[in-house]
Amino acid sequence: MTELNAAREAAPSGVDVNTPSIARVYDFFLDGKDNYASDREVAQALLDIVPEAAIVARANRAVLRRAVRYLVGEAGIRQFLDIGSGLPTAGNVHEIAHEIDPDTRVVYVDNDPIVLVHGRALLADNKTTVVVQADARRPREILEHEATREMLDLDRPVAVLLAGLLHHIEDQDDPKGIAAELRDAVPSGSHLLITHFCDPGDDPLTDPMRAALRAKMSGFVDRRREVIAEFFEGLEMVSPGLVHLHEWRPDAEAQEQDHPLQRFMVAGLARKP
Ligand code: SAM
């Protein structure tokens, strides 16, 4: 049996293992087990060009954890809407939040069916966390989804997390409009986190990896920093603003992750006044 056939047999129903999936390629870079031959082929093509590519994935995950700690620990947030949440991996949003307050409510949203399968299994007995399959390009459906309505009180502050998501949303699908619709749906005191692949202009270090991502991942769009900054329109940036991943409220782990490839992505958190 070929590896691909073996993977196809092992795949949960509804999951197409022959088409690479963003969630599963990312899972591979984070040393997860929920990836298949087609995903590993994409990941390997990236690693062939930039052997340290996984650093970026790990640094993105790390900044997400730091932001959740800040949001629960310092900003008093007790509700999360994590869109493009990805496969469950070590240090999920609900785990980090629950270390500080176990009553924190989390809605995970992803359009990849594998996330729903694994999320449901992981969260079967969890009363404060739920996973929803929906498309970020239709925020209204997410906000009006029964599970979102049951889990979140949209009259109280919510942290909307768009970590590693908007660079998978093409211009024609209006990423700025998506961010604005989510911003408008939540009350004052809510927060928006965005991490995003950044086009730094001519950059001999990141150019090959950006070219490989564009070639291998359909719908991948890295954007200039000033374009990403516009996604926070109407919000107040939380210090230190929109910066490279390891510069966002670094802890010891972030300092260890300091690497020139970090120029590849930016992170920003903002508060709705
Ligand atoms: N947010 C996690 C993090 O930062 O660690 C995972 C990021 S992962 C790189 C991007 C995720 O966005 C994938 O799980 C992918 O399936 C999801 N995604 C991409 N396009 C989407 C869309 N239109 N609607 C919902 N999810 C989407």
Asked if the ipTM is above 0.95, the reply is: yes
- Determine the average pLDDT of the residues in 30-39: 91
Q: Does pLDDT of 2 surpass 60?
A: no
pTM: 0.94
Q: State the pLDDT confidence band at 1, using cuts at 50, 70 and 90.
A: very low
- Percentage of the chain beyond pLDDT 90 is 67
- Determine the average pLDDT of the residues in 75-88: 96
* Average pLDDT of every residue of the chain: 90
Domain boundaries, given as residue ranges, for the chain: 54-271
Q: Whose CA is nearest to atom 5 of ligand 1?
A: 61
Ligand 1 site, residue 24, Cβ cutoff 6 A: no
Ligand 1 site, residue 112, Cβ cutoff 6 A: yes
- Determine the average pLDDT of the residues in 126-138: 96
Q: State the pLDDT confidence band at 10, using cuts at 50, 70 and 90.
A: low
User: Lowest-pLDDT range, 123-127, 213-217, 268-272?
Assistant: 213-217
Fold for domain 54-271? Rossmann fold (3.40.50)
Residue 97: closest CA among 54, 59, 126: 126
**Separation between Cα atoms, residue 20 and residue 226, nearest integer Å:** 30
Q: What are the strands, taking DSSP E only, across 146-233?
A: 159-163, 191-197
- State in Å: Cα 209 to ligand 1 middle: 19
Which token pair is 91?
């240090």
**Separation between Cα atoms, residue 226 and residue 246, nearest integer Å:** 19
- State in Å: Cα 80 to ligand 1 middle: 15
- 175 vs 48, more confident: 175
Note the pLDDT of residue 264.
85
**Separation between Cα atoms, residue 111 and residue 59, nearest integer Å:** 23
Q: State the pLDDT confidence band at 4, using cuts at 50, 70 and 90.
A: very low
Read off the amino acid at residue 263: R
- State in Å: Cα 1 to ligand 1 middle: 31
Note the pLDDT of residue 203.
76
Angle at CA of residue 7, ends 5 and 13, nearest 5°: 105
Q: Does pLDDT of 14 surpass 90?
A: no
β-strands 243-244, 265-271 pairing: antiparallel
Query: How far does CA 211 lie from the centroid of its chain?
Result: 21
Note the pLDDT of residue 93.
97
Residue 146: count of CB within 10 angstroms of its CB: 9
Ligand 1 site, residue 60, Cβ cutoff 6 A: yes
Q: State the pLDDT confidence band at 9, using cuts at 50, 70 and 90.
A: very low
- Determine the average pLDDT of the residues in 90-118: 94
